[in-house]
Structure 1
Amino acid sequence: MKSPQVSTVIIALVFAGLAFFLFSLIEPTQTSVAIAIFIAAFVAPLIGINHSSESSTSDDVKTLYVGNLPYRANEASVRELFSTIGQVHSVRLMKDKHTGKRRGFGFVEMSANDTDKAVEALNDKEFQQRTLKVREAKERPEKEAE
């Protein structure tokens, strides 16, 4: 279960206080409405209802695979390249576990609206004397527990 954000809890408490106040003022026939508001105010944060306008930014991000990168390229240079196309959220360049040297590929997380433009603009384009391979990353299959 997600932990509620502070602003959501405050909103819930305000609604709960308002519902309780109304509960004490209204006629008995309308108490069920006040009770429903009171319950909803406490249940909403627990089920993760988000009242902010930025409700799901993680759904708006896609990951691109970037292959054939020059070994001298670093995260900053790759970020700068992809930033010319759209909003970059993160850059991860893969390294060999034993030597620590770059392996010539990585992943760039971008706004979903910009990924198609990035693939079109940068796939098969030269970057630091190497021809990049850019495509949408595939989901990594989960390892089975043995």
Structure 2
Amino acid sequence: MNSSLITNIISVLVLAIASYFVFNSFNIALSPAISIALGIIIGGIATVLLTQLKSASTGVETAHVSELSTLYVGNLPYRANEQAVQEHFELHGVVNSVRLMKDRRTGKRKGYGFVEMDAKGADKAIKNLNDSVFQERTLKVRLAKDKTEEE
């Protein structure tokens, strides 16, 4: 489950429990099941409204989700973090995620990673950032190859 779904579920449950206590504190004669059900309904409506407001304020449309490209970014400086890489790539398009690879044993960065961004921005990023200098290192940027399952 993604974190926004978990947050939404927790919010609905908190509102359900809060409504139970609110109805009981005002001596409104409702059974506990009905007051919790009302809280779930109110929480669900609030969650949907907040989600719509959040997506409207960020300008992100869900129709463009299928138009994402994953870029391989090589020769990254070991000191670079996800935030710095994201900011660097956002100059060329909307970045969905950044994953910098780390050694499992030592936890140190390996010097490469993957940036998922909108397809148009990815094309721009490849054109403008491949062989460009980032934190004193020359980046290698290209479309990532799909993982192939080994048999």
TM-score by length of 1: 0.60
1:69 to 76, 79, 82: 76
- Please, which runs of 5 or more residues in structure 2 have no aligned partner? 1-60
Moved over 4 A (4+): none
1:143 to 121, 145, 150: 150
The number of equivalent residue pairs is: 91
Query: Which letter maps to 1:107?
Result: F
Establish whether residue 116 from structure 1 lines up as the match of residue 123 from structure 2: yes
Structure 1 CA distance, aligned partners of 2:138 and 2:62?
A: 38
Which residue in 2 is equivalent to 1:100?
Answer: 107
**Could you give the per-residue CA deviations for residues 95-145 of structure 1, whole angstroms, max 9, x where no partner exists?**
00100000000000000121110001100000011000000000011132x
How far is the alpha carbon of 1:56 from its aligned partner? Answer: 4.6
**Could you give the per-residue CA deviations for residues 51-108 of structure 1, whole angstroms, max 9, x where no partner exists?**
xxx6654321010000000000000000000001110000000000100000000000
Query: Which letter maps to 1:111?
Result: D
Structure 2 CA distance, aligned partners of 1:140 and 1:134?
A: 17
Q: Which is higher, the Rg of structure 1 or of structure 2?
A: 1
Structure 1 CA distance, aligned partners of 2:137 and 2:62?
A: 39
Name the SS for the 1:69 alignment partner.
Answer: coil
More helix by share: 2
Percent of counterpart pairs with the same letter? 60
- Please, which runs of 5 or more residues in structure 1 have no aligned partner? 1-53
**Aligned CA-pair RMSD:** 1.2
